[in-house]
Amino acid sequence: MLCASKSNNREALAAIVAALHNMLTSGVELSTNSLLMSTILRQLIAADSIKGLIQGESSENLADTATEWIVILISKYCREGKLPSLYRAVSGENFVIETCLPEQLVLLHCVRSIVDDPIGQTTERYGRLGSKVDGSDSIATHLFLSELLASLLARRLVTKQVGISRTEDMTLVNSASSAILYILSETLTADSKETSQIRMSMGQNTELIPVVCKALGDVYDRITLRNSGRNVRETSVDYDEQAQMVGLVRLLGNLAYGCKVNQDTIRQTAVPVPGSVSGARHGEERGGLHVLLSCTAYSHACFTLREWAVVAIRNVLENNPANQELVEQLEAKQGVQSAVMKDMGFQISVEPKSGKVELRTLDKINE
């Protein structure tokens, strides 16, 4: 394989990876081989294609036979619940969960493409990350990704507070965080018993929800601070902030769906207001639910945030009296309904008997 890689012989590489796939089918364990996995991931895209992109030359298709076989091999490993061992194997004995190597980032984006396959059914997507009958592999993989995402997001928060970090390291961390956000958001969309177990396990056994709430508060505060004194039309939200805010809101909504434990965790998570904001808000007490409602104020400047926020808010409030009561308290202070939901054109209403939440448009209410 090394010879084929050095000579850029993609045909030979494709044949080797195909043989490795057949060995895996025969029961041979290869996922813990650090050198092998790193070499395979480095060859996901042909060197000539990468050079063409760097030099500004057009490339119709970066994929070739070798790329296809590598994706098939990675997909096979993921279905057997071996993504955690693959990810760890890339860094060998020096695995550090708060960092991300280039090969690990390639692996995550490969997994993202596997999960994002439009041909597959939504109810099967969680199975692409482990599909044993009892679901244990899928749960283990989701817990690993949850811990990984929580660690990467926490590092981003600490780095921004301290202000010291290598640019290339944080570029990898940021890209890895975005990839995992998308992967988890996609695999949690199914409404099934297995997905419900995964949601509950992620909420109870990891720090993902508290970290996601704080990360959402961080991006909201940065946007608010930068746009202080500006009107709605002048509000500035860059592409990375939009992607991060939408990804975090979407993940919180999917984690909260039909899971009271996760709904409560979102409400109970304390999200501090940084000292850089105005004195009136500094020291203000707020939780994850408050932040989720507040960030929707930027839906006009953030593509698809409005739609995902509606879903997330409904999922967090559904059949949860404590969360519904908190929203009523915030409405009484004119901190949510008047400043946020009204700007979005929505009003929250709760059916007393069933506890179901409905987000009605103000146009329908006024008819």
Specify the pTM.
0.82
Number of domains in the chain: 1
- pLDDT one-digit tens code per residue, 203-230: 999 999 999 999 999 999 999 888 888 8
- Given this model, what pLDDT does residue 279 score? 47
Query: 367 pLDDT band (50/70/90 cuts)?
Result: very low
| Mean per-residue pLDDT over the chain, rounded | 79
Q: Within a domain: residue 4? A: no
Whether pLDDT at 124 is above 50 = yes
Residue 312 sits in which domain range?
209-367
Per residue, the 3-state secondary structure of the chain, as one string, reads: CHHHHHCCCHHHHHHHHHHHHHHHHCCCCCCCCHHHHHHHHHCCCCHHHHHHHHCCCCCCCCCCHHHHHHHHHHHHHHHCCCHHHHHHHHCHHHCCCCCCCHHHHHHHHHHHHHHCCCCCCHHHHHHHHCCCCCCHHHHHHHHHHHHHHHHHHHHHHHHHHHCCCCHHHHHHHHHHHHHHHHHHHHHCCCCCHHHHHHHHHHHHHCCHHHHHHHHHHHHHHHHHHHCCCCCHHHCCCCHHHHHHHHHHHHHHHHHHCCCHHHHHHHHHCECCCCCCCCCCCCCCCCEHHHHHHHHHHHHHHCCCHHHHHHHHHHHHHCCCHHHHHHHHHHHHCCCCHHHHHHHHCEEEEECCCCCCEEEEEHHHHHC
- Given this model, what pLDDT does residue 51 score? 43
More confident residue, 184 or 328: 184
Whether pLDDT at 108 is above 70 = yes
- Given this model, what pLDDT does residue 58 score? 45
